[in-house]
Every structure is written in structure tokens, then in C-alpha cells.
Amino acid sequence: MKILIINGPNLNLLGVREKNIYGAKSYEDLLAFCRAVCEEEGAEVEFFQSNHEGAIVDAIQGALGRIDGIVINPAAYTHTSVAILDAIKAVSIPTVEVHLSDVSKREDFRRVSYVAPACIRSFIGLGFEGYREAVRALKEHLASNAR
Ligand code: CA2
């Protein structure tokens, strides 16, 4: 099982500001956490982070034929991007959405996710643990689809 973990704009600045919302740990800490989770779950992992919508679309397209499952935190593009929604639909790779913060309890505009309809699950407000849940959900989904 090979997993691609995509993080959107500004998540590379984790731990620098807004620690009350996103926590004090850095983006490097997030990668280390995800690496450990994937090792425990027996998954190979690849990471991609970009501040650019088109680059995220390219990364999703580039997963075709190589990647079994995608974990994506599209960050602000969650609430705006039809292009990312379409890319997830186009590749038909099982995808799980993750948000560190509880977007349902923040500004109204964060309550809408453009990508959720293309995702098999969404984990919201669990901090780094949401990425663990996402990897596990993909593993279960892929195992049940292989039967
Ligand atoms: O809660 C999440 O994971 C979000 O996807 C994070 C996005 C936000 O636009 C979404 O509504 C919810 C923002 C990530 C910004 O990360 C920062 C990191 C350090 C300092 C400031 C922002």
C-alpha cells in the first residue's frame, strides 16, 4: 500500500503562528508523525506540500497508477477549490480529507468543503491524530475492496 500525503497552503508554517488553533508542533513534526504511523500500518508514504493550487492538482494527477490512497489537507483550498475536487474525482484514487482544527466551529466560510464529496472520509479537529485515522481508514478501505 502506497500513500500520498498532501498538505496545502501555509501548513509548512505549522508551529510558527496560530499555535492556539493548530498546535505548537512544526510541519517537520507532522511529517515525522505520519512516517511513524505509516510504518506501524505497513504503508509506504510520500509527502507533498504546496502553496499553489495547480501544483496540488499536478500532484494528484501524478499519483495515477503509482499511489493506492491519498490523504489530503487542502488547507484554505478546501473552501474554494473546484479544481482540487475535480482532480480527486478524475484520478479515482481513494482519498481521505483531514483538518487539524475543527472547521465546523470556526468562521462560517470554513464550514463548506469543496473536496469532501470526492473523499471517502473526513477527519476534522483531531490534530495530528486525524492523519493516523486517515491512514487507517484508507488501509481498511483498500483491504475490503481487495476481497
Ligand atoms: O484545520 C486545518 O487543518 C485547515 O485545513 C488549516 C488551514 C485552514 O485554512 C483550513 O480552514 C483548516 C490553514 C492552514 C494554515 O496553517 C498555518 C500554520 C501556521 C500559521 C498560520 C497558519
Predicted confidence pLDDT, tens digits, the chain (147 residues): 999 999 999 999 999 888 889 989 999 999 999 999 999 999 999 999 999 999 999 999 999 999 999 999 999 999 999 999 999 999 999 999 999 999 999 999 999 999 999 999 999 999 999 999 999 999 999 999 987
pLDDT for 123 equals 98
Q: Is 99 a catalytic residue?
A: yes
Mutate to test the pocket of ligand 1, among 73, 107, 112, 129 (most ligand atoms within 8 A of CB): 73
d(CA 37, CA 53): 27
Whether the model pTM is above 0.75: yes
Q: Report the residue among 99, 108, 124 best suited for mutation to probe ligand 1: largest number of ligand atoms under 8 A from its CB.
A: 99
Does residue 131 have an active-site annotation? no
Closest Cα to atom 13 of ligand 1: 75
Question: What is the grid cell recorded at 112?
Answer: 463548506
- Beta-carbon contacts of residue 60 (< 8 Å; ≥ 6 apart): 6, 70, 72, 84, 87, 88, 90, 91, 93
